[in-house]
Amino acid sequence: MRRLRIITLVCFLLSAAALGASTAYQAWSEDKTIPVIDCPETPLVLSVKDSGEEALLQDMTAYDEKDGDLTDKLLLEGIDRSAEGDITVTYVVADSDHHVVSRSRTLQYTDYAPPRFALSKDLRYSMGSSIRIKDRLTAADVVDGDLSDRIKVNSNDLSPYYEGTYPVTFEVTNSLGDTSSITMDVVVRNYAAGEPRISLTEYLVYREAGTPFDPRAYLDSVSGGAVGDVSIQLPEGGLSTGVSRVTYSCVGQNGTVGSTVLYVVTE
């Protein structure tokens, strides 16, 4: 019996020693090296038109002590825009032991512009009609192209059954997280008999501060009146930075006044 206990103890000690040796070898042989991503400290400067994956990865390298050069394993994790307006590209790479590291670099677009809206018809609707704003309001930018399906309409009391002028805020965000918004009036009112209808080539335009502005260049036609009879009223003091309203008015043969609005965003 005593001999059996001694044999059992010896077997246990040998098993423990073997397990300890295996664990030690595994810990010794395990790769503890972490990949390193190198990139210039200067921002990456690109045109939006030339910002494909190859361009975004230029001058970037990656290395691991065990695996060697990992540059061809580099991936783009994402492009983000901070609240301060800085654009950052994040890169990621993994070695053969699944160690993952990331690094970010500032990106400067030479021709970036935030999302912009376009309005093809005035925002006036007859009472009881369906208010389909997105059939005339679109949005686009230089990064994503058409953003019309991302437009958000923010209004608490807009109703097609009550005559009135409703300020509505429209908002759109691109893939960089850059948001543009504009507030315009949606008018719910039936057309009066003989009321002239003024058509513009567009109803929302953008301009740089200090550039010439000719409001008659946007006047297209008048139904129930003459183009030459249209009067144009600019905001008092002229166009200022931000959103301005330019009002076009025309008096019909029976004295009824028709009007429409051009929204001018001065940047």
Question: Reduced to 3 states, what is the DSSP secondary structure of residue 170?
Answer: strand
Measured CA to CA, the distance from residue 88 to residue 168 in angstroms comes to 33
| 8 A C-beta contact, residue 110 and residue 47 | yes
| 8 A C-beta contact, residue 165 and residue 155 | no
Over residues 197-221, the pLDDT tens digits come to 999 999 999 999 999 999 999 999 9
| 8 A C-beta contact, residue 107 and residue 44 | yes
166: Cα separation from own chain's centroid: 26
Measured CA to CA, the distance from residue 53 to residue 191 in angstroms comes to 53
Over residues 121-175, the pLDDT tens digits come to 999 999 999 999 999 999 999 999 999 999 999 988 899 999 999 999 999 999 9
Measured CA to CA, the distance from residue 89 to residue 79 in angstroms comes to 5
Check whether 26 has a pLDDT greater than 90.
no
pTM of the model: 0.77
Query: What is the phi/psi pair of residue 229, to 5°?
Result: -90, 0
Q: Which residues pair with 162 in a beta bridge?
A: none
Name all domains of the chain by residue range, CATH numbers in brackets. 36-109 (2.60.40.10), 113-190 (2.60.40.10), 192-267 (2.60.40.10)
Cβ contacts of 3 within 8 Å, gap of 6 or more: none
Over residues 102-132, the pLDDT tens digits come to 999 999 999 999 999 999 999 999 999 999 9
Measured CA to CA, the distance from residue 145 to residue 147 in angstroms comes to 6
Please give the average per-residue pLDDT across 73-96, as a whole number. 90
Query: What is the phi/psi pair of residue 70, to 5°?
Result: -120, 15
Query: What is the phi/psi pair of residue 16, to 5°?
Result: -65, -40
Question: Reduced to 3 states, what is the DSSP secondary structure of residue 177?
Answer: coil
| Higher pLDDT among residues 263 and 97, named by residue | 263
- Give the pLDDT score at 16: 52
Cβ contacts of 186 within 8 Å, gap of 6 or more: 123, 124, 125, 131, 133, 155, 158, 165, 166, 167, 168
Measured CA to CA, the distance from residue 107 to residue 51 in angstroms comes to 10
